[in-house]
C-alpha cells in the first residue's frame, strides 16, 4: 500500500531508516489501492501531490500501485471501469479503498462512476476490500458537503457503513485539506508495523492524540487571559474564533506547506478542520467577532 500512495507523497520527508525500509518493500506483496472521490473539491488530492523529490510524476510512473484515481488515472472509459469492477467484485485480488469526499446518500446520482453510483461501489467494496481509509474531513465526518441545509443528504464513510450495519477495517484521517504526512506516515505504519493506535474517532493517535489548543505556542496567553479581540492583535485567538480547543491535530509541531507555516503562525485562528463539528452548523462560522466569542 505504501507504493500505492508513493505516487502522491514522496520519500524526502522521512527519516533515513523509514525511507530505506519503504524502498525495500516488495511491490508484489503491497496491497493495491483504489482511490474514489465523492462530494469534494479534490483539495486532499492536491495536498497529497505536494511531493518535491522525487517528483509526483516519478512516483506515479516508477513506484505506484495506484489502481484507480479519478484525477490521476491514465486509462479511461470502459477499460478503467472494467479494472475497477474486477477488484470491487472480488475477482482481481486484494486492495485497499481510499475515499476522499462525502457520500450523497440522499442524491445518489450526484456521484457517478461510469453508469453506476458511488454508493453502489462502496456497498460492494465493503465485502471485498482489505480495509478503507477515509481521507479528509469530508470522508471522515461529512465536512462542508454535509453542512446544515445541504440537498444531497451527504454522510461520511463511517456513517455510511454504520447505517448498513457493516464494519470494515477503517482508518479516518481528517483535515480540510488533509496534511500529506498524516496519510503517508499512516500508510508506512500499516505496511511495516500494522494498524496504528487509533483514537475514539478511528484516527491515528500519533497525529490526532492532542488538541491543537494544548500544544499551541499561544497557550500561555490563554493561561494569562490575554485574549486578542481583533485579527492581528497579540494574544490567544480564542475570542476571534479559534477552534483549537475542539480540534485534534499536531499542526503546532508539524506545520504546513513544507514546514513553512500554519494557521496560527500566520496570525489566523484555527478553524477546527479536523474536528467533527467543522462546517456543520449555519450558526457556527469559521471566524467570529469578539463580541460573540
Closest listed residue to residue 270, CA positions, set 213, 199, 187 = 213
For the question of residue 242 being annotated catalytic, the response is yes
Catalytically annotated residue among 185, 189, 263, 289: 263
In this structure, the number of other CB atoms found within 10 A of the CB of residue 236 comes to: 23
- Cα–Cα separations (whole angstroms), residue 276 to 41, 104, 122, 175, 207: 18, 18, 22, 10, 16
Residues in a beta bridge with 268: none
Catalytically annotated residue among 179, 185, 189, 242: 242
Round to whole Å and give the CA distance between 234 and 170.
41
The label of the residue with cell 508495523 reads 193
Closest listed residue to residue 157, CA positions, set 68, 39, 282 = 39
For the question of residue 44 being annotated catalytic, the response is yes
Check if the beta carbon of residue 180 is closer than 8 Å to that of residue 9: yes
Catalytically annotated residue among 111, 138, 179, 185: 138
Catalytically annotated residue among 69, 111, 176, 189: 176
- How many alpha carbons fall within 13 Å on the CB side of residue 239? 16
For the question of residue 111 being annotated catalytic, the response is no
| Strands 112-113 vs 95-100: parallel, antiparallel or unpaired | unpaired
Catalogue the long-range contacts made by 20-23 (C-beta closer than 8 Å, 24 or more residues apart): 21/188, 21/192, 22/188, 22/191, 22/192
The label of the residue with cell 530505506 reads 20
Round to whole Å and give the CA distance between 207 and 124.
31
For the question of residue 270 being annotated catalytic, the response is yes
For the question of residue 251 being annotated catalytic, the response is yes
For the question of residue 273 being annotated catalytic, the response is yes
Residues with catalytic function:
41, 44, 138, 176, 213, 216, 236, 242, 251, 263, 270, 273
Amino acid at each position: 500500500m505504501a507504493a500505492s500512495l508513493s505516487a502522491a507523497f514522496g520519500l524526502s520527508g522521512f527519516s533515513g531508516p523509514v525511507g530505506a525500509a519503504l524502498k525495500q518493500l516488495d511491490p508484489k506483496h503491497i496491497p493495491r489501492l483504489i482511490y474514489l472521490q465523492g462530494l469534494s473539491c479534490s483539495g486532499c488530492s492536491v495536498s497529497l501531490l505536494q511531493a518535491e523529490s522525487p517528483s509526483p510524476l516519478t512516483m506515479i510512473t516508477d513506484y505506484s500501485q495506484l489502481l484507480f484515481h479519478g484525477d490521476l488515472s491514465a486509462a479511461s472509459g470502459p477499460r478503467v471501469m472494467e479494472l475497477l469492477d474486477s477488484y470491487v467484485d472480488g475477482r482481481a485480488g486484494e486492495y485497499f479503498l481510499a475515499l476522499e469526499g462525502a457520500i450523497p446518500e440522499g442524491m445518489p446520482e450526484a456521484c457517478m462512476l461510469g453508469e453506476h453510483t458511488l454508493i453502489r461501489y462502496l456497498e460492494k467494496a465493503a465485502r471485498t476490500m482489505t480495509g478503507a481509509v477515509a481521507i479528509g474531513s469530508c470522508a471522515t465526518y461529512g465536512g462542508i458537503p454535509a453542512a446544515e441545509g445541504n440537498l444531497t443528504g451527504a454522510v461520511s464513510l463511517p456513517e455510511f457503513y454504520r447505517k448498513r450495519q457493516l464494519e470494515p477495517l477503517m482508518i479516518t484521517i481528517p483535515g480540510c485539506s488533509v496534511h500529506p504526512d498524516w496519510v503517508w506516515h499512516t500508510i508506512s505504519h500499516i505496511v511495516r508495523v500494522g494498524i496504528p493506535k487509533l483514537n475514539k474517532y478511528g484516527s491515528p493517535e500519533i497525529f490526532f492524540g492532542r488538541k491543537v489548543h494544548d500544544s499551541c505556542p499561544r497557550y500561555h496567553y490563554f493561561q494569562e487571559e490575554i485574549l486578542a479581540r481583533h485579527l492581528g492583535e497579540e494574544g490567544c485567538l480564542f475570542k476571534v474564533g479559534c477552534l483549537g480547543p475542539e480540534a485534534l491535530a499536531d499542526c503546532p509541531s508539524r506545520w504546513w506547506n513544507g514546514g513553512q507555516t500554519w494557521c496560527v503562525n500566520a496570525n489566523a485562528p484555527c478553524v477546527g478542520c479536523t474536528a467533527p463539528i467543522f462546517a456543520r452548523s449555519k450558526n457556527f462560522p469559521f471566524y467570529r467577532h469578539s463580541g460573540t466569542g
